[in-house]
Amino acid sequence: MISFLLSILLIGSLLSFFVKRYSREVALVFTGIAFLLSTVMFANMFSFEGGVVYVEKVQWIRSLGIAYHVGVDGISMPLVLLTTFVSFLCVIYAWEERLRPNQFYGLIVLLDFALVGVFVSLDFFLFYIFWELVLIPMFFVIGIWGGERKDYSAIKFLIYTHVSSVVMLAGIFAIFYFNWQITGEPTFDIPTLMKNYINLEFTPLWRDFIFFALLFGFLVKMPAVPFHTWLPDAHVEAPTVGSILLAGVLLKMGGYGLIRFLIPMSVNANPIFITIIAIFAVASILYTPLAALPQKDLKRLVAFSSIGHMGFVSLGVSAGLMIGDPDMRLLALTGATFQLFAHGVITSVLFGSAGVIQHHAGTRLFENLGGLMKPMPKFSFLMVLGFFASMGFPGMVGFVAEFSVLASSLALIPVFAILALLSIPLSVVYHLYALQRTVFGLPSKVLPERDMYLYELLPLLIWVITTILFGIFPSPIFEMIEKSIRLIGGIT
């Protein structure tokens, strides 16, 4: 199933590049098939016990223990579903793309392929290939279809994320080397290395370096303050679909890494690193509203909101790694993982809304906007719902995730949780500020002549329905995540 899913996306990407006249139709069909496949896989996992399923393993480079090893569990499956879901709707959203459409749609499907590869890889070598491959289509999407400062933003994005990936790679090689020295067998197999890691004999310096190297790579990718400066620039200059995929899925790679690797590695990690994760989390959460409020561009404001939301992932991870009540630790880690899915759907609505305003009003600057409710009532309704979901409004998917993280953090790391709580009223302020200056308020001098087009309405409507559906019925994903967290975290 997984190989078929990856093959469909790779073939779809290649065909989109070479079939110029019907590239968008090809992209739509192949991303649609990928979404249906991931939905079937997800539905078949309702009764699973938390372990890895759909496992496929073929030896690749035997002398180094490298294999094509893929599979999914309750942590990766929701992210695979999120990736194919968002990518499919992004193709619809970008239906009228006229600049090099075959290259544009080909890169979107290639990005879908690489992101799925990251979440299904069970071999460190394969994982790193997909991890780096993600950078290529996103670099070109920003660099070709971006705004006035697209070259600067694309290069900055590449430098930040690639340098952090190289540091992460050093940590991976260190784990590989020490495991080889102890066991006498070379392997990049992730389950094997994570299982053996606890018993490997490290000096304190090597142990700290390995944990730091992986942590650094994941924090920059999320991104956490102060490694965040590449993100607002990349978002502002990227085309709307690029921003949706960047915030909706690509940022999840960092949070996935924290959960997938650092949870089992934390058993013999220096406790100071867990505190450092909490500090980065709170810094990101508190920084977000302070940075968002002065913004004059709607898209830049939304970009800063992603930093705060991903901060709740780090907060949940740090709380879950603390010594304390097992039930609270389980809730923290499950909530943090669920936040990855929740934020992916919510931010798609936010950036999609910013794109609609740009398309119809010709600007995203607050000083030139206002009163969109009258000419664009359908769009305004969906945008308001999306911003309420981002605020963590009860009954929406963001509330489930952030409430779980905060409730468990109050029991495990109360000081950090209280500091994070201080951001909630400020978060409400900048969200309402954005709505007041765009949807409500005095009408701008030049109002759009019509509401959204169908290709814009359909993705936004589906994303909003999803935020409400999983806000009211989160258990299919939440319980799936919980079962796998129990296993990799050893929580009973």
Model pLDDT for residues 2-26, shown as the tens digit of each residue: 999 999 999 999 999 998 889 999 9
Nearest Cα neighbor of 94 from 224, 307, 238, 236 is 238
Residue 244 carries which side chain, given as an amino acid letter?
A: I
- For residues 89 and 459, the answer to whether their CB atoms sit within 8 Å is yes
- For residues 288 and 103, the answer to whether their CB atoms sit within 8 Å is no
Rounded CA-CA distance 437/456 in Å is 21
What value does the mean pLDDT take over residues 346-370?
91
pLDDT of 327 reads 92
| Backbone CA torsion sign across 401, 406, 411, 413 | positive
Output the CA–CA distances (angstroms, integers) from residue 205 to 201, 278, 396, 448, in the order listed.
12, 22, 44, 61
The confidence band for 391, taking pLDDT boundaries of 50, 70 and 90, is very high
Output the CA–CA distances (angstroms, integers) from residue 111 to 108, 250, 461, in the order listed.
5, 9, 23
The confidence band for 154, taking pLDDT boundaries of 50, 70 and 90, is very high
Lowest mean pLDDT among 195-204, 318-327, 390-399, 401-410: 195-204
Measured from the Cβ of residue 401, the count of other Cβ atoms closer than 10 Å reads 30
The confidence band for 422, taking pLDDT boundaries of 50, 70 and 90, is very high
Measured from the Cβ of residue 135, the count of other Cβ atoms closer than 10 Å reads 17
Nearest Cα neighbor of 239 from 386, 354, 341 is 354
Q: Give yes or no for residue 323 having a pLDDT over 90.
A: no
Long-range Cβ contact pairs of 432-437 (< 8 A, separation 24 or more):
432/387, 433/293, 434/298, 434/301, 434/302, 434/366, 434/387, 435/383, 435/384, 435/387, 437/366, 437/369, 437/370
Output the CA–CA distances (angstroms, integers) from residue 313 to 119, 222, 289, 420, 478, in the order listed.
17, 9, 17, 12, 14
Q: Give yes or no for residue 364 having a pLDDT over 80.
A: yes
What angle is formed at CA 324 by the lines to CA 471 and CA 269, rounded to 5 degrees? 100
In a domain, 156, yes or no: no
Furthest CA-CA distance within the chain: 73
Q: Which residues of 11-38 are buried (b: 16+ CB within 10 A; e: fewer)?
A: ebbbbbbebeeebbebbbbbbbbbbebb
Nearest Cα neighbor of 234 from 253, 251, 258, 213 is 251
**pTM assigned to the model:** 0.95
Rounded CA-CA distance 206/228 in Å is 27
In a domain, 52, yes or no: no
Q: What confidence tens digit (pLDDT) does each residue in 63-96 have?
A: 899 999 999 999 999 999 999 999 999 999 999 8
Contacts for 73 with CB less than 8 Å, ≥ 6 apart: 50, 51, 52, 53, 484, 487
Give the burial class of 432: count Cβ atoms within 10 A of its Cβ; 0-12 exposed, 13-18 middle, 19 or more buried.
middle
Nearest Cα neighbor of 375 from 283, 472, 444, 284 is 444
Q: Give yes or no for residue 199 having a pLDDT over 90.
A: no
In a domain, 61, yes or no: no
In a domain, 251, yes or no: no
pLDDT of 51 reads 84
pLDDT of 267 reads 81
User: What residue has token string 């830049």?
Assistant: 300
Nearest Cα neighbor of 249 from 84, 13, 24, 52 is 84
The secondary structure of 323-362 as a DSSP string is SS-HHHHHHHHHHHHHHHHHHHHHHHHHHHHHHHHHHHHS
- Label each residue of 69-107 as H, E or C: EEEECCCHHHHHHHHHHHHHHHHHHCCCCCCCHHHHHHH
In a domain, 183, yes or no: no
Q: Which helix (H) or strand (E) holds 67?
A: strand 66-72
For 3, the token pair is 């190989």
Q: Give residue 415's domain range.
A: 270-492
| Backbone CA torsion sign across 258, 253, 389, 395 | negative
Q: What confidence tens digit (pLDDT) does each residue in 474-491 have?
A: 999 999 999 999 988 878
Percent of the chain at pLDDT exceeding 70: 99
What value does the mean pLDDT take over residues 188-201?
89
Rounded CA-CA distance 275/283 in Å is 12
Q: Give yes or no for residue 147 having a pLDDT over 80.
A: yes
In a domain, 433, yes or no: yes
Output the CA–CA distances (angstroms, integers) from residue 116 to 3, 97, 122, 145, 482, in the order listed.
11, 24, 12, 23, 21
What value does the mean pLDDT take over residues 167-171?
95
- For residues 72 and 2, the answer to whether their CB atoms sit within 8 Å is yes
Rounded CA-CA distance 401/62 in Å is 42
- For residues 80 and 36, the answer to whether their CB atoms sit within 8 Å is no
Q: Give yes or no for residue 445 having a pLDDT over 80.
A: no
In a domain, 436, yes or no: yes
Rounded CA-CA distance 128/217 in Å is 12
pLDDT of 98 reads 84
In a domain, 333, yes or no: yes
- For residues 173 and 124, the answer to whether their CB atoms sit within 8 Å is no
The secondary structure of 436-480 as a DSSP string is HHHTSSSPPSS--SS---HHHHHHHHHHHHHHHHHHH--HHHHHH
What is the count of structural domains for the chain?
1
